[in-house]
Structure 1
Amino acid sequence: MEALALWQTIAIFFVFIWSGFVRSGLGFGGAVLSLPFLLLIHDKPLVFLPLVSVHLLVFSSLTIAHPWIKDLARGQQPAFESNINWLYLRKILAITIIPKLLGVFGVISLPNDVITNVIFAIVLIYGLSYVLQKSFVSNHPLLDWVFLILGGYVSGTSLIGAPLIIAVMARELPREQLRDTLFALWFILVSIKLVAFAAAGIDLQWQAHLWLLPAAAIGHVLGLKFHQYSLKVEPKRFMQWIGIALIAVALAGLLQY
């Protein structure tokens, strides 16, 4: 990562705390709820996408393994029970994998300002849906395919396709299986993206992880605690405030061009 002003360094550190919090707390949003803030601080999508991708790999793995780690810490034999619905995961992957690859090719080949504007436009739509409490809902097999294909493509270009994919998965999976199955899906899709970045010679920002992984770890721990709370209540007001922030940031970003 190129040299940054002190305020940019501090702001990026706190955004990655936020990123870790929403990722483990909600099961999605590590990119969509943090990338627009990062782009306002430093307008370089291909700087932040590898960082967010690696963080997602690390903390999705830790979240899935968290019950086993707790058992080991208590001196108990790990149960090795999983909340991942592997059969359903294979079905989702079969639909999203090709759009994902097309999206990865797009983010590598498109100009920086085009990628940035696309990200802000998508985030604006998500923000409006959160404020109006009109989340994406699929109730027809054909619409399922549309959402999954679009979600795979958007995930390939910018890692922010989660709300479209969740519109399908949230309806078909029990709530206790949703987060971990999503994390398993993100792990596979993001691994593909990182391999493509490396093959294209894009800097994966390994040095920046030394100071940003701890930031994401702080948010990760806080998010695990929030997730336990969110299983008992429906945090609609929380998501509305997030929506307002996303709309403000997206509009500010779009007005820069």
Structure 2
Amino acid sequence: MIFSPLELLMIAIIFTWIGFVRTGLGFGGAVLGLPILLLIGGSPIDWLPIIGIHLLFFSSITLSNSLKQVDWHYLKKSLPWILPAKIIGVIGLLSLPPNVMTVIVYLITILYSLTWINNSQIISKKTWINNLLLFFGGYLSGTSLMGGALLVAV
């Protein structure tokens, strides 16, 4: 992709904003940034490598500031549900057409924004529903780095 100077400036502003969101909230930078980047151009697979590097950097900052607050027991319990789904999602990202991925990204963003606007939460007292949400969030995270809303909800 080739960008004009104005588009490069807009991309820099968007990535700066994504970093502030990620550092401030601890999640959500990709959820909110990828749809805006798609308005500039390209497909999700064009943006995800740089978003991945960006998330690693800002996730490291967030994690280093709150390492003592990580629930390691829960993390060990949830990773068997998240990681296989994430790998399946990455395979889907590489094999699905860009138009389908763009629709998935916007649908997730719409769902995320509606739950935020309505101040609603996904609350479950059943383990199998929590595991299903973890699996689904892992898959979405693998396909588009957008599973934060589901993973945080559980």
> Which structure has the greater CA radius of gyration?
1
Following TM superposition, the consecutive aligned residue runs of length 4 or more in structure 1 with deviations greater than 4 angstroms are: none
What does the per-residue CA deviation read over 1:171-212, in whole Å, with 9 as the maximum and x for residues that have no partner? xxxxxxxxxxxxxxxxxxxxxxxxxxxxxxxxxxxxxxxxxx
Higher RCO structure, 1 or 2 (CA under 8 Å, sep 6+): 1
What does the per-residue CA deviation read over 1:33-53, in whole Å, with 9 as the maximum and x for residues that have no partner? 111000011132112111111
- Matched with 2:16 is 17
Q: Which has the higher helix share?
A: 2
% identity of equivalent residues: 41
Taking the aligned partners of 2:115 and 2:13, their CA distance within structure 1 comes to 25
Among candidates 124, 134, 139, match of residue 153 of structure 1 = 139
Which structure 2 residues correspond to residues 224-239 of structure 1 after superposition, within 5 A?
A: none
- Matched with 1:106 is 92
- Alpha carbons 2:23, 2:61 under 8 Å: kept: no
Unaligned runs of 5+ in 2: none
Which structure 2 residues correspond to residues 1-257 of structure 1 after superposition, within 5 A?
A: 2-66=1-65, 82-168=68-154
Q: What code does the residue aligned with 1:96 have?
A: I
Taking the aligned partners of 2:142 and 2:90, their CA distance within structure 1 comes to 4
SS at match of 2:123: coil
Unaligned runs of 5+ in 1: 68-80, 169-257
What does the per-residue CA deviation read over 1:91-121, in whole Å, with 9 as the maximum and x for residues that have no partner? 1111111111110000001111111111111
- Alpha carbons 1:31, 1:160 under 8 Å: kept: yes
- Normalising by structure 2, report the TM-score: 0.93
RMSD: 1.4
> What is the CA distance between 1:88 and its match in structure 2?
1.4
- Alpha carbons 1:43, 1:116 under 8 Å: kept: no
Q: What code does the residue aligned with 1:130 have?
A: W
Q: How many residues align?
A: 154
